Chain A
Amino acid sequence: MPSSSPSPVLHAGFANGTLTFVVDGPLDSNSTGAAWRQADRALHQNRPDAVVFDATRMTYADGAGVALYVHLRDRLFSDAIPFHARGLAGNFRLLLDEFPPDALEAPWRLRQPPSFFESVGRSTFSVLKDAAAQLAFTGELVVNLCRAMAHPRSVRWGDTWLVVERAGVNAFPIVALIGFLVGLILAFQAAIPMKQFGAELFIADLVGMSVIRELGPLMTAIILAGRSGSAFAAEIGTMSVNEEINALTTLGLPSARFLVVPKVLASLLLTPLLTVFTNLFGLLGGLLVMASLGFSPIAYLNELKVALHFGDIPSGLFKSLVFGLLVAGIGCLRGLQTGNGAAAVGESTTRAVVGGIVLIVLADGLFSITYYYLGI
């Protein structure tokens, strides 16, 4: 917000083809804005043969005042109009000496927005490059996980348990809440049509099947992506900005072993566990609705037993295992890909969450098809 402008300090007078600027008062960052516009206007209107800059009554000038002088001098120079100064104070001259004509070389690098074709090309290239990076990262991750299996003592278990605690134990309340609400909502939504056919008992089938086979693993994974995928990306991203990743690398400690393996291992451990809790609370939500419709818990449980096959539970848990791997993997990858600066960390975090959710849904689609043909 510009501060309130004082009375004008620049007075322009035009006589015999000579434009005279008289500065009366201080020429500082408060007054120069108005003076600048005034000077430009006067030059434009009068088309002088010569210009005089009279600073006899200038009481004070800061960088902005000097900038105005430099601006006038260089502009008139390029128009081949003589420019004279009068009464420049000693320290004004001293500062002016820092900026002889042509002192300001042109910026070395121009930042122009790319053309349409260039940006299409760049986007295509970056999508392909990203696919390649994901593939390479997956390969590296698999190798590192295999190595971790072969040499369990090389794994940093301390870090791993810390991640289990932060991403798993601390996620328990939110996972329980979401699971419970999903079960509750599903049951309520189903209650309306089921009632028309007097088939309320089958709400149990619906809740049981959809929570255990589909929604439990899916919701857990999405919560994990939002809570922990983002945290992984932000943590590794900040380390990358601070050159901590470089420090690890030059110490001969590959970032994959130090940062990625503990996070991925922890996610592999905790996602199925969290999913069990989501399922449990989802079923509880269904139970509540059924109870409010007048069914006993025993009836609900019996119906669940009929509806669910033994294979449903492990197939859901296996899915969640894969989801956990994807979420942790993409979180770490985006973190490692972080560019420069604080904004880059934010971008990585976003990309981790979005990428995680997209991968979860894609994988879920693949699972549905596979399970269908396997008859699970």
Chain B
Amino acid sequence: MCEAIIRVDSLTAAYDREVVIDDISFVINPGEVFVVLGGSGCGKSTLFKHLIGLYKPVAGTILIEGDDIARAEGDLRLRILRKIGVAYQSGALFGSMTLLQNIRLAMEEFTDLPDEAMTLLARMKLKLVGLGGFENYLPGEISGGMQKRAAIARAMALDPKILFLDEPSAGLDPVTSADLDALIKRLARTLGVTFVVVTHELPSIFAIADRVIMLDKRVKKIVAAGKPADLRDHSEDPRVRQFFNRESSV
């Protein structure tokens, strides 16, 4: 495989004094769909917010294509940020703008595309996530699942190399969720986009993940890493077995 697109080295994350993630390292390769999983409260969102540069690590580094996102400033920081697109757990769409305006915002700020081009491009993004026709709706006027998809469309506005999705399928119906998984796969294939996805939906994990890491709340470390099918079939770790077999045990 070629050079890693994201490299995390000895990352320790904490709130005040309370360590949530203790000295973990991993790499994410270009073009892969990388899934972070683990039980609730194990620090998935915390890791997520560190990866996208919202929080600064207590120790360790996060390199995005070789640049340290936590310490970059000014132009370099902007350049790193243009490589990533983020869809937050709650959608976080701008409530006073239509979906079209939500997606156009970054284009207006960062490109010199003609007006017509930005509108067409934004409409194509909406079409990609299955929201063709909803251009002029406000976020408050569409359902939660649609808001999530619109948030993904917004994250893709500038065609980032890496898309970060926090629990994209949580709260979606199985059909929509499966559509979303298919979309992620398709985008990874067609655009070569790298996906970093936080989720604990088993069907999603098996549908999309090339590789996963599993965090654990108690030891605050990665307790398993690899292909999801391998972990399910071959892991000896009881925590991993429990996670992957919970469906069958219900």
Contacts and interface: CB of A to CB of B under 8 A. Distances in A.
Interface of A: 1-3, 5, 28-30, 32-34, 36-37, 40, 62-64, 66-68, 70-71, 91, 94-95, 98-99, 103-111, 339-344
B112 interface: yes
Contacts of A36: 113-114, 117
A315 B173 CA distance: 63
A94 B186 CA distance: 9
A340 B114 contact: no
Nearest to B107: A29
Contacts of B69: none
A94 B112 contact: no
Interface stretch (B45-53, B127-135, B194-202): B127-135
Contact of A95 (B98, B135, B140, B191): B191
Contacts of A341: 95-96, 138-140
For chain B, which range describes its interface: under 10, 10 to 19, 20 to 34, or 35 or more residues? 35 or more
Contacts of A342: 95-96
A94 B117 CA distance: 20
Contacts of A98: 124, 127-128, 186, 190
Contacts of B137: 109
B111 A67 contact: no
A29 B156 contact: no
B159 to A, nearest CB: 4
Interface in B121-149: 121, 123-125, 127-128, 132-141
Contacts of B191: 62-63, 91, 95
Given A62-B159, A63-B124, A341-B96, A91 B192 contact: yes
Contact of A111 (B113, B136, B139, B192): B136
Closest 5 CB pairs of A and B: A341-B95, A2-B112, A340-B140, A62-B159, A33-B112
A343 B95 contact: yes
8 contacts: A33-B112, A33-B114, A71-B117, A103-B127, A104-B132, A109-B136, A340-B140, A344-B96
A109 to B, nearest CB: 5
A107 B96 contact: no
B135 A67 contact: no
A71 B120 contact: yes
Of residues A91, A106, A107, A109, which shows the largest number of chain B Cβ atoms within 10 Å of its Cβ?
A107
Contacts of B138: 340-341
A64 B133 contact: no
A70 B136 contact: no
A301 B159 CA distance: 77
A111 B100 CA distance: 12
Contacts of B139: 341
A99 B109 contact: no
Given A29-B159, A95-B191, A340-B95, A66 B124 contact: yes
A91 B114 contact: no
Contacts of B132: 103-105
A107 B117 contact: no
A105 B127 CA distance: 9
B124 A29 contact: no
B121 A67 contact: yes
A111 B156 CA distance: 25
Interface string B175-205: 0000000000010011110000000000000
Nearest to A90: B190
Contact of A91 (B111, B123, B136, B190): B190
A247 to B, nearest CB: 16
A67 B159 CA distance: 12
A342 B228 CA distance: 40
A36 to B, nearest CB: 5
A94 B189 contact: yes
Contacts of A344: 95-96
Contacts of B141: 340
A106 B136 CA distance: 10
Contacts of B98: 111
A33 B96 contact: no
A5 B110 CA distance: 11
Contacts of A94: 186, 189-190
Contact of A37 (B114, B121, B186): B114
A2 B110 contact: yes
A98 B136 CA distance: 21
Given A2-B110, A33-B113, A342-B96, A107 B135 contact: yes
Nearest to A341: B95
A57 B213 CA distance: 39
A67 B117 contact: yes
Contacts of B237: none
Contacts of A68: 117
Most buried by A among B113, B116, B141, B156: B113
Contact of B117 (A1, A2, A33, A103): A33
B121 A63 contact: yes
A110 B100 CA distance: 12
Given A29-B158, A63-B124, A66-B124, 4 more contacts: A32-B113, A98-B186, A340-B140, A341-B96
Given A1-B110, A108-B134, A343-B95, A64 B128 contact: no
B81 to A, nearest CB: 13
A103 B124 CA distance: 9
Given A107-B133, A341-B139, A67 B190 contact: no
Contacts of A28: 159
B111 A33 contact: yes
Nearest to B139: A341
